[in-house]
Amino acid sequence: MLETMAWLLAGAGAVYALVLSRRSLLRPASHGFHRLAAFLAILALIPLNIPHWFHSPFSPRQLVSWALLFGSIYPAVAGVVLLRRRGRPTAPEPGSELLAFERTSVLVTTGIYRFIRHPMYASLLCLAWGVALKSLTPLSIALALVATAALVATAKVEEAENLARFGAAYRDYATRTRRFVPFIL
């Protein structure tokens, strides 16, 4: 029953993600297109691994999994809040695939953005691998790798978009920060 409910919720999440990303589907070179692939991979991972979420709860793998899952919360929340508060979102451009909080007119370099350029993608990476670690099957690992590759592609495309939008200020910012993990990656 739980597994069926999880698959139904994942299906509903996939439909929602597809609707939200409908404009990105028409522009495969946009960051939203790659981000959708990551979301779909993560949405498949959750119901696939839900039967294993509480097996051996204190095993090292499960502890790392829970750390990644709980660690995925802060970067996402902090990133969205800062973009909304400091990014001065603009009105949507006709046909734009950007989400409301992505339409910033100011480059945000404070808070979590002082250390990493993509806190929301870092959050999704933690989520993907946290879920994958619940049951390390070939399919779970493959889906986590798909999500990882899609998020790296998303970040690279978004960086090119931000360079076009913010110019030298973004180039300088990118030299001072890391993509996903402060001081490392």
pLDDT in tens, 69-97: 999 999 999 999 999 899 887 777 776 77
pLDDT above 70 as % of the chain: 98
CA dihedral 77, 49, 66, 126 (to 10 degrees): -40
Count CB neighbours of 44 within 10 A: 21
Q: How far apart are CA 103 and CA 88, in angstroms?
A: 8
Predicted structure pTM score: 0.93
> What is the pLDDT averaged over residues 6-34?
90
Listed by start position, the domains of the chain span: 2-176
- What pLDDT sits at residue 2? 82
- What pLDDT sits at residue 23? 85
pLDDT, tens digit, 9 for 90 and up, residues 122-133: 999 999 999 999
pLDDT, tens digit, 9 for 90 and up, residues 121-163: 999 999 999 999 999 999 999 999 999 999 999 999 999 999 9
Residue 104 is given by DSSP the state: B
CA dihedral 122, 75, 154, 97 (to 10 degrees): 160
Mean pLDDT check: name the lowest of 57-66, 100-109, 168-177: 100-109
Q: How confident is the model at residue 60 (pLDDT cuts 50, 70, 90)?
A: very high
CA distance to 52, 81, 84, 128, per residue, from 2 (Å): 12, 33, 36, 20
